[in-house]
């Protein structure tokens, strides 16, 4: 298995990859998608993808419809996507993706988290090059061969295709297939999956560290203090780092 498989496996085990903040994140994604391409998912591929993700985390349909309606209101401000880069203790690079309607507040908060945990907030470009920006699709695995699918989707940018398991709406394990590709391949793969009638369960973007750093359990606790503060912030959408995950 490749880096994408190992990365996904590690994130699934993480506390912060649970769905506690999912509704908040998706609500912001809906606003940004509607502002960018309008409220009709049939003509807005980004909104269509967000709605799929909402279903994947059991976000009620009424909530989704309210969020879309709210996003079309002229008084609804837009969210700006801002990336922060820096280092936690022990030389661990940290990349923070935010969606904010108040950049001054977000900058102050993120800087304070780094300072309070003896980390350092860096300048733009200081660590982003250490991560590969990828897109991913989780599709239904019924009657699909991952190896054949990988060969068929190489032309659309797919780099890694593998079987996985997740929970369905009732909490039961279900087989699925993951497709990972470079960030810029998202549109082509989404269009081809939809054209083939393959059900997309969810999709998104991730930043996979090119190299990870192994540190001790005690040092990892120092790093976790920063990660926890960042992940609890309402403006933070995703947090990535180069710390090698400790074995369970």
Q: Where are the domains of the chain?
A: 3-72
Show the tokens assigned to 23: 């509704």
Residue 15 has what pLDDT? 45
CA distance 8 to 4: 6
Using alpha carbons only, give the angle 166, 172, 178 rounded to the nearest 5 degrees.
Answer: 20
What is residue 125's predicted lDDT score, i.e. its pLDDT?
96
Give me 198's structure tokens.
Answer: 């393959």
Q: Which strand ranges, in their side-by-side order, compose the sheet holding 200-209?
A: 160-167, 173-182, 131-140, 200-209
The CATH H-level superfamily of 3-72 is Integrase, N-terminal zinc-binding domain (1.10.10.200)
Looking at residue 244, what is its pLDDT? 92
Question: For position 14, what pLDDT does the model report?
Answer: 60
Give the Cα separation of 35 and 76 in Å (integer): 10
In this predicted structure, what is the pLDDT of residue 64? 94
| Mean pLDDT, each 10-residue run in order, the chain (248 residues) | 83 56 90 94 95 91 93 88 97 97 96 98 97 96 91 96 79 85 97 95 95 96 96 94 80
């Amino acid at each position: 298995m490749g880096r994408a498989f190992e990365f996904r496996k590690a994130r699934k085990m993480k506390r912060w990859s649970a769905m506690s903040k999912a509704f908040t994140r998706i609500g912001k994604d809906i606003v940004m998608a509607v502002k960018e391409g309008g409220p009709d998912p049939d003509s807005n591929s980004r909104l269509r993808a967000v709605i799929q993700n909402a279903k994947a985390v059991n976000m009620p349909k009424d909530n989704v419809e309210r969020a879309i309606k709210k996003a079309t209101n002229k008084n609804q401000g837009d969210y700006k996507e801002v990336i922060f880069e820096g280092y936690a203790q022990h030389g661990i690079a940290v990349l923070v993706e935010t969606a904010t309607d108040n950049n001054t507040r977000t900058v102050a908060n993120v800087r304070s988290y780094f300072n309070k945990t003896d980390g350092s907030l860096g300048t733009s470009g200081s660590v982003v090059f250490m991560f590969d920006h990828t897109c991913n699709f989780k599709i239904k695995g019924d009657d699909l061969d991952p190896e054949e699918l990988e060969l068929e989707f190489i032309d659309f940018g797919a780099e890694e295709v593998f079987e996985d398991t997740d929970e369905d709406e009732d909490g039961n394990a279900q087989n699925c297939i993951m497709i990972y590709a470079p960030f810029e391949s998202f549109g082509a793969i989404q269009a081809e999956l939809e054209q083939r009638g393959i059900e997309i369960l969810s999709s998104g973007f991730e930043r996979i560290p090119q190299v990870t750093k192994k540190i001790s359990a005690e040092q990892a606790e120092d790093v976790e203090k920063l990660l926890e503060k960042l992940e609890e912030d309402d403006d933070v959408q995703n947090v990535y780092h180069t710390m090698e995950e400790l074995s369970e």
